[in-house]
Chain A
Amino acid sequence: METSRPVIVKRMPGVMNLRESRAFLRDVQPILQSDRPQLVFDLAQVVRLDAAGVEVLVHCMSEAMRRDGDVKLAAVSPQAAVVLEMTRTDRLFEIYQTSTDAARSFSAFLPNTIRRKELQPLAA
Chain B
Amino acid sequence: MELVALLVVESRGPMALAQVDILGASTLKRTVESLGAAGITQVAVVSAETPGETYLTPAKIQFVKSSAEQLWRDARSAFASLTVVRPEAVLLIKLNCYAEMDWKAFLAKHRAGKHPVTRAWASGVHALDMYLVDPRAEKEVEFLLHNQLRHPRLIATRYQVSGEEYVHPLLHAADLREIAVDGLNLECQMRPAGREVKPGVWLADGSRIDEGVRLVAPLFVGKRARVRTGAVITRGSSIEHHSLVDCGTVVENTSILPFSAVGAGLDFTHAVVGNRQVVDLKRNVAVEIHDSTLLAETAHNAGVRVMSKAAALVTYLPMQFFHALAQRNPLPKLAEGACANDFVSTVINEREPRGKETALPTRALPKLVMERYGNQ
A: residues with CB less than 8 A from B are: 17-18, 21-22, 25, 48, 50-52, 54-59, 61-62, 65-66, 78-79, 81-83, 85-89, 91-92, 117-124
Contact = CB atoms under 8 A, between A and B. Distances in A.
B274 to A, nearest CB: 14
Given A65-B365, A86-B278, A87-B294, A122 B288 contact: no
B339 A55 contact: yes
B63 interface: no
B372 A65 contact: yes
B178 A123 contact: yes
A50 B338 CA distance: 9
B334 A21 contact: yes
Contacts of B285: 78-79, 82
B344 A58 contact: yes
B269 to A, nearest CB: 7
Nearest to A57: B340
6 contacts: A62-B369, A65-B365, A66-B365, A83-B289, A89-B340, A123-B177
Nearest to A61: B369
B280 A78 contact: yes
A58 B344 CA distance: 8
A95 to B, nearest CB: 13
A55 B283 contact: no
Interface of B: 174, 177-178, 181, 236, 253, 265-271, 278, 280-285, 287-291, 293-294, 331-332, 334, 336-341, 343-344, 347, 362, 365-366, 368-369, 372-374, 376
Contacts of A58: 340, 343-344, 369
B177 A86 contact: no
Contact of B283 (A22, A61, A65, A81): A81
Given A52-B338, A78-B280, A82-B285, 7 more contacts: A17-B290, A18-B334, A62-B347, A65-B369, A81-B280, A86-B268, A91-B373
A55 B333 CA distance: 9
Contact of A55 (B343, B369, B376): B343
A118 B282 contact: yes
Contacts of B181: 123
Contacts of B269: 85, 121
Residue from the set B293, B340, B365, B369 with the largest chain A CB neighbour count within 10 Å: B340
Contacts of B282: 117-122
Contacts of B236: 123
B340 A55 contact: yes
A33 to B, nearest CB: 12
Nearest to A89: B340
From A18, A61, A82, name the one whose CB has the most chain B CB atoms within 10 angstroms: A82
B373 A51 contact: no
B174 A122 contact: yes
Contacts of A118: 282-283
A54 to B, nearest CB: 4
A59 B290 CA distance: 21
A121 B265 CA distance: 22
Contacts of B281: 121-122
A16 B265 CA distance: 20
A86 B266 contact: yes
B338 A55 contact: yes
Nearest to A119: B282
A117 B362 CA distance: 34
A36 B177 CA distance: 46
A118 B282 CA distance: 8
Nearest to B341: A87
A21 B293 CA distance: 16
A51 B268 contact: no
B369 A92 contact: yes
A6 to B, nearest CB: 23
Nearest to B364: A66
B368 A91 contact: no
B365 A88 contact: no
